[in-house]
Amino acid sequence: MEKPRNGEKEEPKACICGYDSLHRLLKDNLNPHHFQEVSRLLTGLNCGKALETIALPESATAFSVEHGFDLQAFSFCADEELLREPRVVRVGLIQNSIALPTTAHFVDQKKAIFEKLKPMIDAAGSAGVNILCLQEAWMMPFAFCTREKRWCEFAEPVDGESTKFLQTFAVKYNMVIISSILERDINHGEVIWNTSVVIGNHGNIIGKHRKNHIPRVGDFNESTYYMEGNTGHPVFETAFGKIAINICYGRHHPLNWLAFGLNGAEIVFNPSATVGELSEPMWPIEARNAAIANSYFVASINRVGTETFPNAFTSGDGKPAHADFGHFYGSSNVSAPDASCTPSLSRNRDGLLVADMDLNLCRQVKDKWGFRMTSRYELYADTLARYVKPDFEPQVISDPLLHKKSS
């Protein structure tokens, strides 16, 4: 549990009653029996039991202590099968704040973020992580809502500086890495996209996915920089399982989650950048619901901290001009198809979350609940086909007496 130190000022809304997560607040303030029952309702049961923690190597914990980041590790199990061996994959999620003020030289900002992430990636590697995912636009401040074009300088090709930086770790630790960047598409007129690059465990680029849904809410009007992606809903078959990336705002769209599941995803990562005032009540619900509805694991990553920009901007929602988006509340977590989930990382500290997942659980939940089997895709497809036509009329049956005047 991390509480404010004496004399240390907390960022506004960065903590909950002096605690950096709801889980830690409850654990410290409820008696053990009450906490067990509350935890059962909040985080569910994995195969009928409370989620187990993992003891990580001393080398990983040493990185955490030396560099001051939150480190938590949990294990999702599946029932033992007679015809299949367990398919356990170790996943890592990194959340972080920026390293220098946004007024610093762009070269220095980017270099400082790289340096900041090195020990966190090394901790993931020493912990034996197979698939590592970084937060949305990890290689820069989240400047997209300022509407200032100068931040486009951070954009880079898929095989650019950030990818090359991460490729060395992928090879060193035999690790797949998901890197969400601001992409500059050199082959198509240098158009900019919000893109996740999938780096294979041999350092190769497996592919990329571009953000499908662009927000236009509050400060988050990102279409100044990039528009909706054109890569569909790809699933990447890696050495450690079939994975997909639902970038940030796409988590609000159930059909987006569904499409990744229809394409066979076993783990869907949601690299994000979202603030407490806008979305925190949704955060623990949407990803968990997606995991349940689609019978796959969901790994959610959110950046941390308050990023203040040199020039004030407005939201178009009547609020006075301001220089920050609010507090990025971290709280990265993993949800399983059986409705269990991990506690969240800190709301105000950098962090690494490690989770073992037995991917056999995906099929076991499909067999138990039969969501895929009992879905009526032909009905949904028919409704959608009619809905997208200009002459669509909703299927509404009105009471014939609804507008009849009383005699």
Q: Which residues are catalytic?
A: 136, 211, 248
Cα distances (angstroms) measured from residue 11 to each of 14, 17, 113, 144, 347: 5, 12, 20, 22, 11
What is the distance between the alpha carbons of residues 249 and 284, in angstroms, rounded to a whole number? Answer: 14
CB 290 within 8 A of CB 257: yes
Place of tokens 């090195």: 118
What is the distance between the alpha carbons of residues 76 and 89, in angstroms, rounded to a whole number? Answer: 10
Place of tokens 């689609």: 294
CB 366 within 8 A of CB 295: yes
CB 348 within 8 A of CB 305: yes
Structure token pair of residue 265: 């995803």
What is the distance between the alpha carbons of residues 69 and 215, in angstroms, rounded to a whole number? Answer: 30
What is the distance between the alpha carbons of residues 174 and 129, in angstroms, rounded to a whole number? Answer: 9
What is the distance between the alpha carbons of residues 323 and 331, in angstroms, rounded to a whole number? Answer: 23
Beta-ladder partners of 302: 272
What is the distance between the alpha carbons of residues 98 and 91, in angstroms, rounded to a whole number? Answer: 23
Beta-ladder partners of 184: 192
What is the distance between the alpha carbons of residues 282 and 149, in angstroms, rounded to a whole number? Answer: 30
DSSP label at 265? Answer: -
